[in-house]
Structure 1
Amino acid sequence: MTAGDPAAELVGRYGSPLYVYDLGRVGRAYDDLRAALPDPSRIYYSLKANPHPRLVAELRRRGARAEVTSRGELASALEAGCPPGELLYSGPGKTPGELGEAVLHGVRHFSAESFGDLARIGAAADAHGVSAQCVLRINAAGAPGGAGLRMTGTASQFGFDPEALLAEPGRLAVPGVRVIGLHFFPLTNARDEEGLCAEIVQSIRTAAELRRRLGTDLRLLDLGGGFAAPYAVPGERPLYPGLRAAVTQELDASLPGWRAGLPVIAFESGRYLVGDSGRLLCTVTDVKDSRGTRYAVLDSGINHLGGLSGLGRLLPMSARPLPGTVPDEPQRATLAGPLCTPADLLGRSVELPGLRPGAVLEFPNVGAYGLTASLLGFLGHPAPAEIVLRGTDVVSATRLALYRRELDGASGAPVTDPIPVKELT
């Protein structure tokens, strides 16, 4: 092993497969992102990347707020100690039931994706005698050229089309709601700094124009994210050294009150903050040859690392032997998981040393969109343990579990489980 790397010991203690998260890396990522953003600005951590309460708590400790999109993510944020009044609840499919429960737990800030969404938020708040503070997510055209994976700018389930807002501004007057700002998220995973800067600058200009034409309050401007990180392959996060100056210049030009908090400027990140903090350790269970192809069968597959498997495609992944192990001669093989489907492949025709039963491999950079973005319920294999380290000390060792419970629907009323809230110990 490399100096200070406890991976082999962790596999011995907790079994294989195994996710390992490093809180030191989470902290460094937060510091790097903070240095790249204008000052002052707010950072929201998007729990969709990884809702593990220990990671959420670490980011909260460093100053991040939480952005959630479901009852499960809300439960994780509350377990991590995030004040509900500081959360931002977003997403295009918010139901009346979950909105009511969020309001009951003290959530007051929401991102509205449509007139219907705004009305449902208002109804939930009004029913509890409170006011919801809403930012309007905008489905705006992107900057020329663009970068990363586009999230808006065409027909989309995400956000208001600006022309629809301008055509019917009166529909924003909803009981139980106060519109306090705008929310943009035009793209994701942009390694190209110039393209990312252009997108954020375009969002700032669009926000200033919408404020002028709609006459709405602009107390909070969420400019989204788009910050990149490698996924399941070796590599380093980009640092965006020119982003702060470019965005600051545009904010000064278009929204001169921003330095005094009018509006508060916010950004979101998931993968950038936790992506390089995690790795998946798994074990070769069998090596076999079939009609000219060698297969190394692993005890982990797309049920544990398959962020895009539900879309019918997988991003390229790159396994490697555990650091510090004595390498054998390299072999070329296809890495297959334990599931009963030919789609369960984590690498095609890869060349690796040490491919023998019992050998431990690792997939790096899977702290984001790893376990909880995978087909966890398929075939019923247990979830890997998730170990959180601070240095070499284990601060958390847990395992997700799926379970079935009986529902009492005799009354005809919808059955919902309350959000479990407990102190993080």
Structure 2
Amino acid sequence: PLFAGAQNLKAEAIVEAQQKSFALALRMVEHAPGPVRTLNLGGGLGIPYFPGEQRLDLAPIGTALGNIVAEAATALPGAAIVLELGRYLVGEAGIYVCRITDIKVSRGHTYLVTDGGLHHHLSASGNFGQVLRKNYPVTIGTRMGEPAAEAVSVVGPLCTPLDLIAERMALPQAAEGDLVVVFQSGAYGASASPQAFLGHPGVAEVLV
């Protein structure tokens, strides 16, 4: 496969990448020792994580792929066209849950300390490819019906300032024992996180 980016919410960019990948494959097949059996056009289809992001429009992507498949039937007979849809398929299907173990106030700001953090969910901490850190959608799962109160930060137990789940985010008033829920956590979670960080317990993955 040819890597052309990830977490893309612009249909035109994905269409262009797939078309160029297909064109490159047609040039390369002229020098291949045998017939092409599989053509992987990669992935890159994103999901909305942050305020202001719009869902990916699949219609133009589907139309363009239809044209590629039709041309491949003649140019690459017998070849299977493959897409990598991991994040797009499962990203919104998972949540990450951790428990508040302590509440601390430092310099007038409240910190909800939890038993989970970047060692469980590196991408939510902002340390998995983000240039500027942004908060994932977060709430207090045990207080879903309550209004947001003060802006607080949610942190983990690790001895690093990078262990940050939510920064200055307006959340319902929380107490020790409450559950913090991070949405959009079905992809790049446990398998993409340093779970052995200084011997802290790993995260449990549960199918519901």
User: Could you say which TM-score interval applies, normalised by the shorter chain?
Assistant: 0.7 to 0.9
Partner of 1:350: 169
SS at match of 1:206: helix
> TM-score, with normalisation over the residues of structure 2?
0.84
Contact 1:304 1:375 in 2 (8 A): yes
Report deviation, 1:201.
0.8
Task: Note the 1:137-156 alignment, pairs <5 A.
Answer: none
Q: Specify the alignment match of 2:99 in structure 1.
A: 283
The answer to whether the Cα contact below 8 Å between 2:142 and 2:179 also exists between their aligned partners in 1 is no
Task: Tell me the residue number matched to 1:257.
Answer: 74
Is the 1:288–1:296 contact (alpha carbons within 8 Å) kept by the matching residues of 2?
yes
Matched to 2:74, the amino acid is G
Displacement of 1:224 after TM fit? 1.1
Contact 2:111/2:154 (8 A) holds in 1: yes
Are the structure 2 counterparts of residues 273 and 310 from structure 1 closer, same or farther at C-alpha, using a change threshold of 3 Å? closer
Question: Matched residue of 1:188: which SS?
Answer: coil
1:325 is displaced (CA, Å) by 3.7
Q: Does 1:359 align with 2:183?
A: no
Partner in structure 1 of residue 58 of structure 2: 240
Tell me the equivalent position of 2:113.
297
**Mapped pair 1:338 → 2:157:** yes
In structure 2, C-alpha distance between the alignment counterparts of 1:337 and 1:239, rounded to whole Å = 36
Q: Distance in 1 between matches of 2:179 and 2:108?
A: 24
Segments ≥4 residues shifted beyond 6 Å: 232-236, 310-313
Letter matched to residue 187 of structure 2: A
How many pairs are equivalent?
Answer: 205
1:279–1:365: 8 Å Cα contact kept in structure 2?
yes
Shift of 1:233: 8.2
Over 3 Å counting, the alpha-carbon distance change for 1:330 and 1:263 in structure 2 is same
Question: Which runs of no fewer than 5 residues in structure 1 stay unpaired?
Answer: 1-182, 390-425
- Uncovered stretches (5+) of structure 2, i.e. residues with no partner: none
User: How much has 1:309 moved relative to structure 2?
Assistant: 2.9
Q: CA deviation at 1:322?
A: 1.6
Provide the alpha-carbon RMSD of the alignment. 2.9
1:345-385, CA deviations, whole angstroms, 9 ceiling, x for partnerless residues?
11211111122222222101111111121121113222232
SS at match of 1:273: helix
**Structure with max Cα Rg:** 1
* 1:191 CA drift (Å): 1.0
- Residue identity matched to 2:107: R
What is the rounded CA distance, in whole Å, between the counterparts of 2:38 and 2:204 in structure 1? 39
Identity %: 29
Q: TM-score scaled by structure 1?
A: 0.44
Shift of 1:298: 1.4
Does structure 2 conserve the Cα–Cα contact (< 8 Å) formed by 1:286 and 1:297?
Answer: yes
Match of 1:125 in 2: none
Task: Please say if residues 137 and 184 of structure 2, whose CA atoms lie closer than 8 Å, have aligned partners that are also in contact.
Answer: no
Q: 1:227 to 1:218 in 2, by over 3 A?
A: same
2:116 counterpart letter in structure 1: S
